[in-house]
Structure 1
Amino acid sequence: MAATTVTLTAERILEATEEVLRRHGPAKATVVDVARALGVSHGSVYRHFRTKAALREAVSKRWLDRTSETLADIAADTGRDPEARLRDWLAALFEAKRRKAGDDPELFATYMVLSEESGALVGEHIADLTGQVAGIIEAGVASGAFAVPDPATEARAVFQATGRFHDPAYRDVWRDPEADGDFEALVELLLRGLRAS
């Protein structure tokens, strides 16, 4: 009876890498561990990712992209008014970060380490997110709901002002019983500042 072979894909490698990182942490996880988890040689993994650093960066990108894709759907939903979209976008970002930190703290801590290694990747992620916010604000200006001179500048300000609710450095604050009320108050303050008078 012939053994069935499963095609080794980059996605399968990334899934296995995530599990290995969860189990061993970023300091101890190796490409050999990933290969072992997949039942292949480490050379097979290197055919898809030329270095350990490339593999770790790909895992980080995959993790960040999950958040970006969810938020992009909200930002692109022109069926809702821009104010509701911005409110929902900020709430979804806060909830996604809080869920990642709370549901899988080991993996979240691992991604904190990987993110520090991939500064350019994190910068691209933040640029993508602020671009999404800028698109929502531009739609608000076009509809007359918002009155701001430079949506891109306002988007960066909104993103920075809400950092306490999405920057991983504040993950301990997210469990505070008053966090939701503080978040709502801040979003309302920001929306008042964006609204046309």
Structure 2
Amino acid sequence: MAPPTSQTLTAERILEATEEVLRRHGPAKATVVDVARALGVSHGSVYRHFRTKAELRGAVTKRWLDRTTQVLADIAADAERDPEARVREWFAALFAAKRQKAGGDPELFATYQVLVGDQGEVVGAHIAELTGQLTEIVRAGVDAGVFAVQDPATAARALFQATGRFHDPGYAKEWEQPGVEGEFEAVMDLLVRGLRARTED
């Protein structure tokens, strides 16, 4: 098969190739020239899609962070489900996705940890999207009389921060320790009890 030309080049194909280059060379050594070589095009062709190396790295980091966003968005948007169940399922899906990334491809996970540290704006937007999904669930619980919080957005941010051990990559080494699932459930039980509307005795 002939190598792809710049006419057939797409941003998605560049991002796929960039991920493979990062896996092989790591973030310190991977270059735009390496990406272009993997695609069989000139580095100028890559720059027509991504103006700078930083922009390319930002895009590939966003792509990596967004891989589980749709699954979580589907849970958040499932209005047929009880809000409490949705909160639990949303965090369980987030924890499972993070564990899969860390354990399924540890080299690439380590590479992305370096990139994430350099992409504050991308990471901030990702966290805002996730807490926005959580806000949607909490607000639905308030509307249904299930949760008793004054400000769903503040409550969502607090939930996200309180569960950091189960999705912040800085804790990745703890995710495979014995008993971590039980610890996750205990934290979720405590947090969900805090959200619930009080009933009169």
Partners of 1:154 and 1:18 in 2: CA distance: 35
Q: In 2, distance between residues paired with 1:97 and 1:127?
A: 17
| CA deviation map 1:92-134 (0-9, x unaligned) | 0001001000001111111111111111111111111111111
CA distance in 1, matches of 2:130, 2:156: 9
Residue 153 of structure 1: aligned partner: 154
Aligned to 1:35: 36
| Alignment RMSD (CA, Å) | 1.3
Q: Distance in 2 between matches of 1:186 and 1:126?
A: 20
CA distance in 1, matches of 2:133, 2:35: 34
Aligned to 1:10: 11
Percent identity for Structure 1 against Structure 2 = 73
- Structure 1's unaligned 5+ residue stretches are none
- Partner AA of 1:116 in structure 2: G
- Counterpart position of 1:98: 99
**Separation in 2, partners of 1:68, 1:170:** 20
SS across alignment from 1:144 = coil
Counterpart contact for 2:87–2:134, Cα < 8 Å? yes
Correspondence for 2:80: 79
For residues 26 and 3 of structure 1, the distance between their equivalents in structure 2, rounded to whole angstroms, comes to 28
Give me the whole-angstrom Cα distance separating, in 2, the residues matched to 1:174 and 1:3.
44
What runs of 5+ residues in structure 2 fail to find an aligned partner?
none
Query: Structure 1 residue 67: deviation in Å?
Result: 2.2
Q: How many Å separate the matches in 1 of 2:25 and 2:78? A: 40
TM-score by length of 2: 0.94
Tell me how far 1:14 sits from its aligned partner. 0.2
1:107 corresponds to which residue? 108
Q: CA deviation at 1:62?
A: 0.7
Name the CA shift for 1:4/1:33 in 2 (closer, same or farther; >3 Å): closer
Cα distance, 1:5 vs structure 2: 4.9
Between the aligned partners of 2:125 and 2:180, the Cα distance in structure 1 is 27
* Displacement over 4 Å in runs of 4+: 2-6
Instruction: Output the amino acid matched with 1:102.
Output: G
The whole-number CA distance in structure 1 between the counterparts of 2:48 and 2:2 is 22
Give the Cα separation in 1 of the matches to 2:37 and 2:66: 26
Equivalent residue pairs, number: 196
Q: Which residue of 2 aligns with 1:182?
A: 183
- Letter of the 1:188 counterpart: D
Q: Which residue of 2 aligns with 1:195?
A: 196
Partner of 2:55: 54
TM-score w.r.t. length of structure 1: 0.96
Give CA-to-partner distance per residue, 1:113-163, whole Å, 9 cap, x none: 111111111111111111111110000000111111111111011000000
1:165-192 superposed Cα distances (whole Å, 9 cap, x missing partner): 0000000010111110000010011000
CA distance in 1: counterparts of 2:180 and 2:89, whole angstroms: 16
Q: 1:156 to 1:3 in 2, by over 3 A?
A: closer
Give 2:36's aligned amino acid.
A
